């Protein structure tokens, strides 16, 4: 299993690929599957702003497209001093596949960690579609 530092390095490397000409806010993400593979991605903005894709969701779509459905760790890398949590949309998106994923956020002067279920305690899950 990779060290947290290795995962963080993948996320930082992805951050360098960020396409963020509008916000200037560059984000990288690394998502580790239950079986230990790592998928990285960056945020990809668009002139039609609402089409922007966050780094975390971009990483998740890659992992899911490769057949993975369970995720152990998600690392988010940003360039500012303080660590930021993934946005609500990304939390919801990843919670589709289980909410016990451990989330790390690494910034210049700070690292934070949460369980996904603590970031989004009331995720809308497939179970709710049956009520
Ligand atoms: N962004 C992410 O990539 N992940 C998040 O969790 C929050 C926001 C991106 C979207 C946009 O390109 C930029 O950061 C500013 O919101």
Sole residue written with tokens 């909410």: 99
Q: Which ligand 1 atom sits nearest the alpha carbon of residue 44? A: 12
Residue nearest atom 7 in ligand 1 by C-alpha distance: 87
Residues forming the active site: 56
* Position in ligand 1 atom list of the atom nearest CA 52: 12
Phi-psi map region of 103: left, alpha, beta (phi>0 left; psi -120 to 50 alpha): beta
Its pTM stands at 0.97
* Alpha carbon distance 8, 128 (integer Å): 34
Q: What is the pLDDT of residues 21-71, one digit of tens each?
A: 999 999 999 999 999 999 999 999 999 999 999 999 999 999 999 999 999
Nearest CA to ligand 1 atom 2: 54
Rounded to whole angstroms, how far apart are CA atoms 102 and 111? 13
pLDDT of residue 2: 82
* pLDDT of the residue at 80: 98
Percent of the chain with pLDDT over 90: 95
Q: What sign does the dihedral 131-117-96-58 (CA atoms) show? A: positive
How far does Cα 14 stand from its chain's mean position? 11
Task: State which ligand 1 atom lies nearest to the alpha carbon of 42.
Answer: 3
Average pLDDT over every residue of 63-82: 98
Instruction: Look at residue 117 and tell me whether its pLDDT is greater than 80.
Output: yes
Segments in the chain forming alpha helices (H): 4-16, 55-65, 88-95, 116-119
From 41, 55, 60, 88, the mutation candidate for ligand 1 (largest count of ligand atoms within 8 A of CB) is: 55
Output the six-digit token pair for 47.
């002139």
């Amino acid at each position: 299993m990779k060290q947290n530092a290795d995962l963080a390095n993948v996320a930082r490397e992805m951050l360098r690929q960020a396409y963020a000409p509008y916000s200037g806010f560059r984000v990288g993400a690394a998502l580790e599957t239950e079986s230990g593979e790592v998928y990285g991605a960056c945020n990809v903005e668009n002139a039609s702003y609402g089409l922007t894709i966050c780094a975390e969701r971009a990483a998740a779509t890659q992992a899911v497209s490769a057949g993975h459905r369970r995720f152990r760790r998600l690392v988010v890398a940003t360039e500012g001093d303080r660590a930021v949590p993934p946005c609500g949309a990304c939390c919801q998106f990843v919670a589709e596949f289980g909410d016990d994923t451990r989330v790390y956020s690494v910034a210049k002067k700070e690292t934070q960690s949460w369980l996904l279920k603590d970031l989004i305690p009331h995720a809308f899950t497939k179970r709710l579609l049956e009520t």
